[in-house]
Amino acid sequence: MERIQDLTRTTPLWRITRKSLAWISLSRPPFHTVGILPFCLGTYLAWKTDGIFLDSFFFLGALAVFLILLSTYHAGEYFDYKEDSLSKAKFNSRFSGGSGIMPAKILARRIPLVTSIVAILLAGGVGLILQFVYRTGPYTLLLGCLGALSGFFYSTKPIRLVERGCGELFIAFCYGWLPVATAFYLQAGYFHPLVHWISPPIALTIFNVILLNEFPDYEADKSVGKRNLLVRLGWEKGMLLFIMVSVAAWITILASIYGGVPLKVLHVYVPVFFISLLSLFLIFRNWHRKLETLEILCGMNIAVNLGTTGAFIYALS
């Protein structure tokens, strides 16, 4: 029986299937939602406020977002190889340390670098089509470049924003204001004031996603000299910052109601708020000090981010 299994695993079909599944895992599809959903929110806002929905602009824009995210994640897989290998050897978290595909050596080492470059070039091509063929407006390429270059150089040397203590802020901008504003701009050709009210809570919660996901990687990142924000601050100050940003997200949700977001945003956000509050309670119970329970907190944290975006989509309905 073992002989049959060994023969099966050497067939060309099995190797192709294994590498295809590895490539999909490398691309981390679930983590595309944190970029695609805010883009959908911006598009929905244009429809609800101006009665505009241009499907070609939406699908091309969403494709560009997907390609930028793909480029970002693959660049991280290539340039964070050493620390990801150390982190995965210690604890195989689903939310940090990369996909784990490259340390497993299923794909060639150069693959994510090549696909990252190809993806960002394709995203640039989509941007050119949107601006010069569909004439979506003079800021189209500028908005796209802000996202594409920030994502690509988050991990890519020599710029490598993740090591400069400001990478997390770029992520907050690129997953918060930028996709909402870009989606609305592609549809309507201007920036609606509500964009500036609904994007801060999304930006703050995605900032916390990145920050908390750095905790399982802390020792690995520190050992290789990857001086991200958490390594610079240290464990205790980093957790204090996480708590402060969580509270700031709650405040900006209330501020968005003052800015014109319908009050019914709270119908969905209240459960999200309690998940966030529970996370802080568990942190005070030291759940963040054990890798197994820290992973649960990371999952709850992503739910808070997606739930925040979902609350705004519901509020506009």
pLDDT tens-digit map of 133-179: 999 999 999 999 999 999 999 999 999 999 988 999 999 999 999 99
Does the pLDDT value for residue 231 go beyond 90? yes
pLDDT band for position 5 (50/70/90)? very low
pLDDT band for position 33 (50/70/90)? very high
Task: Report the run of H or E that residue 212 belongs to, with start and end.
Answer: helix 193-213
Distance from the Cα of residue 113 to its chain's centroid: 19
C-alpha dist (Å) from residue 46 to 58, 192, 193, 234, 307: 11, 8, 11, 42, 20
Comparing 40-49, 185-194, 217-226, 258-267, the range with the smallest average pLDDT is 217-226
Q: How far is it, in rounded angstroms, from Cα 43 to Cα 196?
A: 14
Q: What is the pLDDT of residue 7?
A: 39
**DSSP class of 130:** I
Q: What is the mean pLDDT of the chain?
A: 90
Tokens 């080492």 found at: 109
What average pLDDT does the segment 71-76 reach?
Answer: 93
Does the pLDDT value for residue 315 go beyond 50? yes
**DSSP class of 189:** S
pTM of the model as a whole: 0.92
Does the pLDDT value for residue 2 go beyond 70? no
Structure tokens at 29: 């599809």
Which of helix, strand or coil describes residue 312? helix
C-alpha dihedral sign at 205, 207, 209, 212:
negative
Residue 244 has φ and ψ, to the nearest 5°, of: -65, -40
C-alpha dist (Å) from residue 72 to 96, 112, 151: 14, 10, 5
DSSP string, 132-173: IIS---TTHHHHHHHHHHHHHHHHSTTT-GGGTT-HHHHHHH
pLDDT band for position 10 (50/70/90)? low
Cα dihedral value 232, 238, 242, 248, nearest 10: -60
Triad 144, 150, 152: Cα angle to 5° = 95
Q: What is the pLDDT of residue 107?
A: 80
Residue 165 and residue 229 in contact, taking contact as beta carbons nearer than 8 Å: yes
Q: What is the pLDDT of residue 21?
A: 79
pLDDT band for position 100 (50/70/90)? confident
Does the pLDDT value for residue 211 go beyond 60? yes
Q: What is the pLDDT of residue 14?
A: 65
Distance from the Cα of residue 179 to its chain's centroid: 11
Comparing 38-47, 75-84, 94-103, the range with the smallest average pLDDT is 94-103
pLDDT band for position 9 (50/70/90)? low
Q: Pick the residue with more confidence: 138 or 226?
A: 138
Q: What is the pLDDT of residue 3?
A: 42
Closest CA to 102 of 70, 71, 77, 73: 77
Q: What is the pLDDT of residue 1?
A: 38
Q: How far is it, in rounded angstroms, from Cα 106 to Cα 14?
A: 12
Q: Helices 12-27 and 111-128: crossing angle, nearest 10°?
A: 60
